[in-house]
Structure formats: structure tokens, C-alpha cells
Amino acid sequence: MTLIYPGSFDPITLGHIDIAMRGAKIATTLVVAVLHNPEKKPLFTLDERVRLLKNELGSISNIDICSFDGMLVELAAEKGATAILRGLRGISDFEAETNLAIYNKLLSDTNVETVFLVADALHTHVSSSGAKEVASLIYGNNLCDNPLDTVVSKNVKNALKQKFSRHRAVR
Ligand code: ADP
């Protein structure tokens, strides 16, 4: 069974990594699909996001990493995915995610299902937007970056540091 795990991954967090690894245990193949949506104005370019993902998940043999900018349901069909995989951190994710699942089913020729994995208790506070906000405060004020250790990997921490240092330098 192939599952497709789509997201912005701007940047990949420990929460995303956990969902992807657990998904890869259930699926024969897990396709991690990075959404290219310029309207979202991501901090990391599409290439950077894919590179960060490959660094974290590239060594897992049944994980396939790609990017897309069209309709998710079309990519799901193209990849032969049985279902879309998403993560749930709590009530706010539940509302948005169930709506998305309904729309994806309506848009899909095959009535594609969405399956959910509940976030690990260690990651319920973890989000890409939170990581970016905290990183901007930490690196903008020369603070100790230990608080980011529960949110992102060392490699992503370095990437965030470079972004916010670069942003400061051009101001
Ligand atoms: P999107 O922009 O599509 O919401 P994200 O990259 O923010 O993409 O998230 C992709 C998926 O990962 C979503 O299903 C989201 O709920 C899930 N997710 C994000 N953070 C976590 C986390 N800490 N634990 C579990 N799932 C998460």
C-alpha cells in the first residue's frame, strides 16, 4: 500500500519526521510530497525544503520524496496512493484537516481516503510556524537556541540560523 504525505514542510520539524517514520512503518511506500505554493510565501525555497527533508528522511528505503504544484489528488493517483496521510495535533488540526479530507475526496476520481496519525505527546506543540517565530526571536536577539531542540533537528536549526542571520544582514 502506498500512502502520500503532503505538506509545506517550511521547514520539516520533529513532528513531521515522527509522522513520516510511523507512516513508513504502515505503508509499503510513503511518498512525502512538498507543496509548491508561492502564495504561502515560504521562508525556505522549494529546493531548500526538499533538501532538508532528504537529509532527515532520505536514508529510509521506502520513503520517496518529491514536490508538486498541481492538485494533490492528481499526484496521489499518479503515484498509485491508496490514501493521503496527515497528522493531527488536536482540535484545531481536526477541524481544518477533516474539511481538507472531504474536499480531497470530492475532487478525486477515485474517492481518495485520508488517514490520520495522532501526534506524539512530545510533539503536540511543534509546528513549522512556531519554529520560525522562535528562531527569529532567538537568532535576532543572540539568545541560546536550546529551546529549538524539541522542535527541529540540528540540521534544520542551522538552516534557520542561516536564514535569520542572512535576513538581519540585508536590513
Ligand atoms: P500544511 O501547510 O499542508 O498544513 P504542514 O507542513 O504544516 O503542511 O503539515 C503537514 C502535515 O503534518 C499536516 O497534516 C499537519 O497536521 C501535520 N503536522 C504538522 N506538525 C505536526 C506535529 N507536530 N505532529 C504531528 N503532525 C504534524
- pLDDT, mean of each 10-residue run, the chain (171 residues): 98 98 98 92 97 98 97 97 97 95 97 97 97 97 95 98 72 47
Strand (E) or helix (H) holding 67: strand 63-68
Cell of 127: 509546528
Confidence (pLDDT) at 129? 97
Confidence (pLDDT) at 92? 86
Confidence (pLDDT) at 171? 47
Confidence (pLDDT) at 39? 86
Annotated catalytic residue 40: yes
Strand (E) or helix (H) holding 56: helix 46-57
Using a 6 Å cutoff on CB, does residue 126 contact ligand 1? yes
pTM value > 0.85 = yes
Using a 6 Å cutoff on CB, does residue 15 contact ligand 1? yes
Torsion of CA 25, 16, 115, 31, to 10 degrees: -60
Annotated catalytic residue 41: no
